[in-house]
């Protein structure tokens, strides 16, 4: 979590002040429930809430001595609250506060991420509609395959991030639990009603059965979801990076008037934003293995997960938030070159129609094997002549081929090389997604 790749709205969630404020809200809510149960005197929660100020420096000072963060916090509260402090944390254990707080923070972070995904979906939808019929070459293994549209590339990403939104909603739902069950989770020293009250007050669900901690499979699912979203970001970023290469040049990141691309080569316009996104995605994915390993804790509790979560929770959410919002900017300002797409599409003189030609021959009672051989022979001639002084046109080669021309008329051959054939179902695909 470094300023360069952070937004204040997300980093604020992980600041000590916010964490301690959440701790106070948990303790006060527990006291309110205890009042209802007549475990503590009426008005205790209100008195504590009014006086429950804390000093972060003082908490850190106490922790240096006693080596326990929650007790350091409670000690500082007692210094400010006075006599009513004896009722704070009654029947609770540290994990009740720490785990419930962490889940609140992850829920808050998830909400911000959802807002970012919504903005990204809007940007992708607009770009998909704008370039619905902007024809470009589709590539398989990086090699020219058949025509598609740039809009379809954006539409596919749109649908992928719709799935990611659903995944994130599910992950937030799963992580939004509260545990106020006391030592080893048996409610021996605290009434289950307190947990139910705190959960409702803080807009969480009760953890059905906890040990001394909230089970970490929930957190593993959350961080795994963030990693999937990060991978989707990198997939789209990689597509843009490939399409911006000099020999392709079908799209480009926006390049401002005074922007510099290279310290040594003034002509350079590098895809730095999408390269950056590829790197940030790796950081988010790196949290998955530690999160999975955190599931395996000893007996009812250990703290081997604690140091891990103090690192990966802020780093993953902050980094992903920054990445999502950077990608929104990239898509909104993306420069698209339809004329370059057309140039690349026609680069090999109609080779992209080879499959249709193959299929037409099979419809004329020619075996698939024989059809494939005849088409490939001509295709390879056109392929190998690319860049030479006399590049061979695939369509012209087919018209001159004695075997093929004996089966297909000139008009039938010309019809095969019709771009509209590949576009005929684009509207149907869009209707599936956008209605």
Active-site annotation, residues? 141, 262
d(CA 135, CA 138): 9
Q: Where are the alpha helices (DSSP H) in 299-346?
A: 304-332, 338-345
- Residue pair 178/195 in contact by the 8 Å Cβ criterion: yes
Q: Which tokens belong to 375?
A: 């088409």
148 by DSSP, 3-state: which? strand
b/e for 45-70, b at 16 or more Cβ within 10 A?
A: bebbbeebebeeeebeebbeeeeebb
Token pair 């395996």 is found at: 296
d(CA 218, CA 209): 13
268 by DSSP, 3-state: which? coil
* Residue positions counted in the chain: 435
d(CA 83, CA 226): 45
Q: Is 5 exposed, middle or buried (0-12, 13-18, 19+ CB in 10 A)?
A: middle
d(CA 154, CA 21): 42
Determine how β-strand 251-252 pairs with β-strand 205-206: unpaired
């Amino acid at each position: 979590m470094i300023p360069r790749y952070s937004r204040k709205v997300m980093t604020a969630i992980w600041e000590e002040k916010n964490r301690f404020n959440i701790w106070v809200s948990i303790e006060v809510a527990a006291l309110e429930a205890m009042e209802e149960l007549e475990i503590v005197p009426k008005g205790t929660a209100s008195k504590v809430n009014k006086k429950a100020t804390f000093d972060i420096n003082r908490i850190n000072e106490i922790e240096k001595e006693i080596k326990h963060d929650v007790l350091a916090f409670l000690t500082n509260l007692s210094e400010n609250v006075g006599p009513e402090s004896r009722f704070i944390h009654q029947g609770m254990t540290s994990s009740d506060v720490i785990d419930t707080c962490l889940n609140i923070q992850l829920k808050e972070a998830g909400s911000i991420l959802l807002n970012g995904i919504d903005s990204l979906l809007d940007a992708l939808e607009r770009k998909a509609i704008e370039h619905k019929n902007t024809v470009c070459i589709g590539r398989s293994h990086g090699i020219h395959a058949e025509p598609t549209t740039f809009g379809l590339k954006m539409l596919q990403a749109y649908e992928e991030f719709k799935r990611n939104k659903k995944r994130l909603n599910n992950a937030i739902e799963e992580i939004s639990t509260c545990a106020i069950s006391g030592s080893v989770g048996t409610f021996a020293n605290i009434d289950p009603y307190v947990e139910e009250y705190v959960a409702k007050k803080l807009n969480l669900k009760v953890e059905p059965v906890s040990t001394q901690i909230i089970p970490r499979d929930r957190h593993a699912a959350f961080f795994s979801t963030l990693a999937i979203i990060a991978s989707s970001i990198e997939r789209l970023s990689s597509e843009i990076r490939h399409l911006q290469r000099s020999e392709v040049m079908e799209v480009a990141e926006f390049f401002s008037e005074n922007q510099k691309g290279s310290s040594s080569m003034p002509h350079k316009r590098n895809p730095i934003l999408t390269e950056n996104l590829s790197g940030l995605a790796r950081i988010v994915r790196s949290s998955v293995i530690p999160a999975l390993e955190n599931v395996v804790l000893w007996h009812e509790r250990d703290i081997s997960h604690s140091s891990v979560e103090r690192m990966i929770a802020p780093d993953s959410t902050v980094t992903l938030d920054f990445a999502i919002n950077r990608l929104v900017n990239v898509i909104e300002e993306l420069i698209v070159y339809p004329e370059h797409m057309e140039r690349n599409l026609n680069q090999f003189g109609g080779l992209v129609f080879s499959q249709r030609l193959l299929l037409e021959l099979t419809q004329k009672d020619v075996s698939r094997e024989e059809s494939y051989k005849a088409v490939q022979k001509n295709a390879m001639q056109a392929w190998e002549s690319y860049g030479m002084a006399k590049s061979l046109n695939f369509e012209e080669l087919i018209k001159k081929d004695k075997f093929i021309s004996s089966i297909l008329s000139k008009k039938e051959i010309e019809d095969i090389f019709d771009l509209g054939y590949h576009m005929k179902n684009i509207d149907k695909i869009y209707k599936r997604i956008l209605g």
